[in-house]
Amino acid sequence: MNRHIKLGFFIFFVPVILWLFLLIVLPQIDLLLMSLKFENDAGKMVWSFANYSSFFTQKVYWLTFARTAIYAIIVTFLTFVVTFPMAFYITKVVNPKYKGFLTILILMPFWVSELVRVYGWMILLRESGVINYFLLKLGITHQPIEMLYNDASMIMGLVYTSMLFMLVPILSSLDGMDDSYIEAAHDLGASKFIIFMKIVIPYAAPGIVSGSIVVFMLTLGDYLTPNLMGGKNSLWFTEQIYNQFIESFNWNQGAAFGFLLLLISSLIIWIGLKISKQNLAKALS
Amino acid sequence: MNNVLEIKNLKKAFGDFKAVDGVSFNVEDGKFFSILGPSGCGKTTLLRMIAGFLKPTSGNLLINGKDMLGVSPNERPVNLVFQNLALFPMMDVGENVAFGLKRKNIPKNEIKERVSSMLQRVQLSGYERKKISQLSGGQKQRVAIARSLVLEPAILLLDEPLGALDLKLREQMKIELKKLQNEIGTTFIYITHDQSEALVMSDRVAVMNAGQFEQIDTPVNLYANPKTSFVAGFVGETNKFEAKKEDNTSVSTKDNISFKSIFIDKDITDNCHLFVRPEAIALMPKDDIEGMNYFNLKVKTILFDGSNTKILATINDGSREISVSLPQNREFAHIKEGEIVKAAVHKNDCKCYKIQL
Ligand SMILES: Nc1ncnc2c1ncn2[C@@H]1O[C@H](COP(=O)(O)OP(=O)(O)O)[C@@H](O)[C@H]1O
Ligand SMILES: [Mg+2]
């Protein structure tokens, strides 16, 4: 009996541990070492925190980071605002017969890659795009409007890209909620608004938290959507990392930025959890 | 006494199916009123109409003389204890009980006081900070009742609240509920499919079947004088025979045994149902008593159950097994399986009803 468990343990966990170690831990250690090396004036590589300190001393770096983080928070919040009513509608309002169908309908766009989806938006929004075509045809405008390459279109694209990752955890937490909680609250004198704020949202909190963490992290680390929909002036922090690696060939600086992104975003999530009085283990269970 | 609840010809149909089919009754203030019926007879539907979660198809519903149609659940002076209790899992006991009070904009310290005195009432004082998941079944029950009662409703509606508890706890909660209702004097409307719950706790019981009320009466009357075949069969243990009318004072069963009996339904002409309670059958009776049906019992099985011990026996050489209560004194303890025992039942305890579909 005991031996079986041990054997099973090895069969299942050795690949997992190898995978974790070879593909994640090892490269990370390498990057970490790289980020702590700096080419001094004599052209020699020395151990130093200079790559990290340059993030704080050069305004453009941390301003870009702050902008990225704030936008990621806004995107996370907007994604929640957009998906929560959908999740509520699918799980609680609509006839259970159509639940599966509606869920699939919403998930369908996510079967194609992010790149294709973003190009889809671009075809709609660009100057010679579908929307402008109709606006001109209907005589609403006389000149095509540039709807791409601004912050609003970038945020919209990011929200769209993230919806799935917010919707699924909220769906599953609302699905487990018995309708009688809503009725009981109504019976005890609560209005619809209070029921929403005091019963539905707290009940779905674990789903909201895990969805928010995933969306926040993905948005922060997204490269494609900010670049394609926000254009040259999107000023997304991942672009800075890309620039260091690819354009400046400064891998040491790039690695340091990568770690800063990881550390600061973890810090933001930690603060977020503290403020909302949630805990990570519960959200992910 | 004034009526806290008046219901007139209330109906609820789901499509073609009539879940509640023309129910009328009044409930006096401060009474413990039960609705007893088999599962699926429409009890929950009726209760949900009173609470305001379902709109009646037709009929009138008045609480304290005020028409309640179109009044939403959060504005009705009634509260419902749900079948699954529906305690909010993300709140602790105190917050659950305070939930309704907070909606009324009552000052914080008053809420705290009322919550703690309510918890004391249900013997859970000091449980404010406990999580719902830490409570036992009986404690959850009491929190659910406290959460509704703290709002001082005109009527407390309870939907089979003891259904999920085990037998011992159910017996205990029955008595506690009855006491609690006596103390606080709130009108309780209690629905259940368990006749013993209804009989033990209630001032009045309505027996419901297929969306309609068969009889509304005190527990004693319900047991002693059932008005319909359904009530006779559903309330209390009984022996039911298919029978044929012989003349105005007797019927004969399928085994061709003749019983002097009384006809509750006067319009019986031929086939009917005969009901005889197990405790109405006397063992080794005195001879020649006026109005008695005498017969021999062939003992098949003895079902020992303490004070509730029964024997299963056939009448004479018939095939139909009936159950007979064994008196508690040890007078008949010598009876063995296979024995033949003289027995009798008075004609007034042989009640005939017309056959109900
Ligand atoms: N929303 C509904 N739609 C259709 N039929 C229903 C609905 N609610 C209840 N019923 C039917 O009405 C009948 C009575 O249900 P219910 O009041 O829950 O019975 P009880 O509580 O006595 O067990 C059942 O046959 C049930 O299937
Ligand atoms: Mg029910």
Q: How confident is the model at residue B186 (pLDDT cuts 50, 70, 90)?
A: very high
Between the CA of B250 and the centroid of ligand 1 the distance, in Å, is 41
Confidence (pLDDT) at B284: 87
Query: Is residue A84 in some structural domain?
Result: yes
Please, which contacts does A77-82 make with residues 24 or more away whose CB atoms are closer than 8 Å? A78/A155, A78/A159, A79/A159, A79/A162, A79/A163, A79/A166, A79/A211, A79/A215, A80/A166, A80/A208, A80/A211, A80/A212, A80/A215, A82/A159, A82/A163
Interface of A with B in 199-218 (CB under 8 A): 199, 202-203, 205
Q: Name, in order, each residue with C-beta under 8 angstroms of B9's C-beta and a sequence gap of 6 or more.
A: B22, B23, B24, B58, B59, B60
Q: What is the spatial distance between Cα B79 and Cα B68, in angstroms, rounded to a whole number?
A: 14
pLDDT > 70 fraction of chain B, expressed in percent and rounded: 100
Residue A251 domain-assigned? Answer: yes
Exposed, middle or buried, A281 (CB in 10 Å: 0-12/13-18/19+)? exposed
Tell me which of B206, B229, B252 is where a domain ends.
B229
Ligand 1 atom closest to residue B46's alpha carbon, by position in its atom list: 17
If pLDDT is split at 50, 70 and 90, which confidence band does B180 have? very high
Q: Is a pLDDT exceeding 70 seen at residue B354?
A: yes
Number of domains in chain B: 2
- A188:B104 CB<8 A: no
Computed over every residue of chain B, the mean pLDDT equals: 92
Q: Which tens digit of pLDDT belongs to each residue from A243-255?
A: 888 888 888 889 9
Residues B111 and B169 in one domain: yes
- Do B275 and B199 share a structural domain? no
Query: How close A101 comes to chain B (CA, Å)?
Result: 25
| Ligand 1 pocket, mutate which of B23, B35, B44 (most atoms under 8 A from CB) | B44
Q: Is residue A199 part of a domain?
A: yes
Q: What is the pLDDT at residue A2?
A: 62
What pLDDT, on the 0 to 100 scale, is given for residue A235? 85
Considering only CB atoms, B86 lies closest to which of A178, A194, A198, namely: A178
pLDDT digits (tens, 9 = 90+) for A177-224: 999 999 999 999 999 999 999 999 999 999 999 999 999 999 999 999
What would the two tokens of residue B283 be?
């063992």
Atom number, ligand 1, closest to the C-alpha of residue B160: 21
Beta carbons of A184 and B88 less than 8 Å apart: yes
Each residue's pLDDT tens digit, B68-120: 988 999 999 999 999 889 999 999 999 999 999 999 989 999 999 999 999 99
Which pLDDT score, from 0 to 100, does residue B166 have? Answer: 87
Spatial strand order of the sheet with B351-353 comes to B258-260, B250-253, B239-247, B271-276, B351-353, B262-263
Length of chain B: 357
Q: Number of structural domains, chain A?
A: 1
Tokens standing for residue B314: 């056939």
Torsion of CA B248, B249, B253, B258, to 10 degrees: -130
Host domain of residue A250? 52-284
- List beta partners, residue B217: B205
Per-residue pLDDT at A105 exceeds 80 = yes
Nearest C-alpha to atom 21 of ligand 1 is from which residue?
Answer: B44
Kindly indicate the confidence band of residue B182, based on its pLDDT and cuts at 50, 70 and 90: very high
Backbone phi, psi, residue B269, to 5°? -115, -35
Q: Report the half-sphere exposure of A10 (CA within 13 A, side-chain side).
A: 5
Q: How far A172 CA lies from chain B's nearest CA (Å)?
A: 17
Q: Please report the ipTM that was assigned to this predicted complex.
A: 0.83
Instruction: Note the pLDDT of residue B327.
Output: 82
Instruction: Pick B90's closest partner by Cβ from A178, A184, A203.
Output: A203
Contacts of A194 in chain B (CB under 8 A): 103
pLDDT for the residue numbered A48? 85
Residue B9 scores a pLDDT above 80? yes
Q: Is residue A23 part of a domain?
A: no
Same domain, B251 and B225: no
B11 and B133 assigned to the same domain:
yes
Say if A194 falls within a structural domain: yes
Among the listed residues A168, A171, A174, A161, the one whose alpha carbon sits nearest the alpha carbon of residue A78 = A161
- Are B246 and B225 contained in the same domain? no
pLDDT at B1: 67
The CATH number assigned to the domain holding A72 equals 1.10.3720.10
Instruction: Please check whether residues B253 and B214 belong to one and the same domain.
Output: no
Residues B260 and B214 in one domain: no
Q: How far apart are CA A176 and CA A279, in angstroms?
A: 19
Give the helix/strand (H/E) hosting A241.
helix A237-242
In B, residues 149-168, which contact A (CB 8 Å cutoff)? 151
**The pLDDT of residue B18:** 95
Distances (CA, A) of B141 to A102, A168, B51, B89: 37, 34, 19, 14
Instruction: Tell me what pLDDT residue B307 has.
Output: 83
Residues A237, A214: Cα–Cα separation, whole Å? 18
Q: A189 and chain B: CB distance < 8 Å anywhere?
A: yes
pLDDT exceeds cutoff 80 at B328: no
CB A177 within 8 A of CB A34: no
**Residue B77: strand, helix, or coil:** coil
pLDDT in tens, A49-80: 888 888 889 888 999 999 999 999 999 999 99
Shared domain for B215 and B339, answered yes or no, is no
Walk across the sheet containing B66-67 and list its strands.
B17-28, B3-14, B58-63, B66-67
Q: Is the CB of B105 under 6 A from ligand 1?
A: no
pLDDT by residue (tens digit) across A6-47? 777 778 888 888 888 888 888 889 989 988 888 888 778 888
Calculate the average pLDDT of chain A: 88
**Distance separating alpha carbons of residues A73 and A217, to the nearest angstrom:** 10
**Partner-chain contact B88 A181, CB within 8 Å:** yes
Q: Whose atoms come closest to the Cα of B54: which ligand?
A: 1
Residues of chain A with pLDDT > 70, as a percent, come to 97
CA of B32 to the centre of ligand 1 (A): 24
- Indicate if B279 and B161 belong to the same structural domain: no
Residue A250 CB burial class (10 angstroms; 0-12, 13-18, ≥19): middle
What residue's CA is closest to ligand 1, atom 20? B40
pLDDT in tens, B241-293: 999 999 989 999 988 889 999 999 988 888 999 999 999 999 988 888 889 99
Contacts of A136 (CB under 8 A, 6+ apart): A142, A144
Q: What is the CATH number of the domain that holds B152?
A: 3.40.50.300
Given a cut of 80, is residue A283 above it in pLDDT? no
Of chain A residues 158-187, which have a CB less than 8 A from chain B? 178, 180-181, 183-187
- Structural domain for B241, as ranges: 237-353
Output B55 or A235, whichever has higher pLDDT: B55
Domain annotation covers residue A228: yes
B284 and B202 fall within a common domain: no
Instruction: Give the model confidence (pLDDT) of B134-159 as tens digits.
Output: 999 889 999 999 999 999 999 999 99
CA A98 to chain centre: 28
Are B175 and B282 members of one domain? no
pLDDT for the residue A4? 67
CATH number where B242 lies? 2.40.50.140
Residue B7's nearest CA partner among B23, B31, B28 is B23
Q: Which two tokens stand for residue A244?
A: 């260091």
Characterize B314-342 residue by residue with b for buried, 16 or more Cβ atoms within 10 angstroms of its Cβ, and e for exposed: bbeebeeebbbbbeeeeeeeebeeeeebe
Ligand 1 in reach of B43 Cβ (< 6 A) = yes
Select from B163, B196, B229 the last residue of a domain: B229
Give which of B284, B229, B234, B274 is closest to B251, Cα–Cα.
B274
Read off the pLDDT band of B319 (50, 70, 90): confident
Question: What is the maximum alpha-carbon separation in chain B?
Answer: 76
Which of B229, B250, B275 terminates a domain? The answer is B229
Q: Is residue A11 part of a domain?
A: no
Which of B10, B11, B14, B207 to probe ligand 1 with, by most ligand atoms within 8 A of CB? Answer: B14
Mean pLDDT, residues A258-272 taken together? 91
User: What pLDDT does residue A114 have?
Assistant: 84
Does B194 share its domain with B294? no
Can you read off the two tokens belonging to residue B88? 């909010």
CA gap A107, A103 in Å, rounded: 6
For ligand 1, whether the C-beta of B16 sits within 6 Å is no
Residues 6+ apart with CB under 8 A from B216: B25, B204, B205, B206, B207
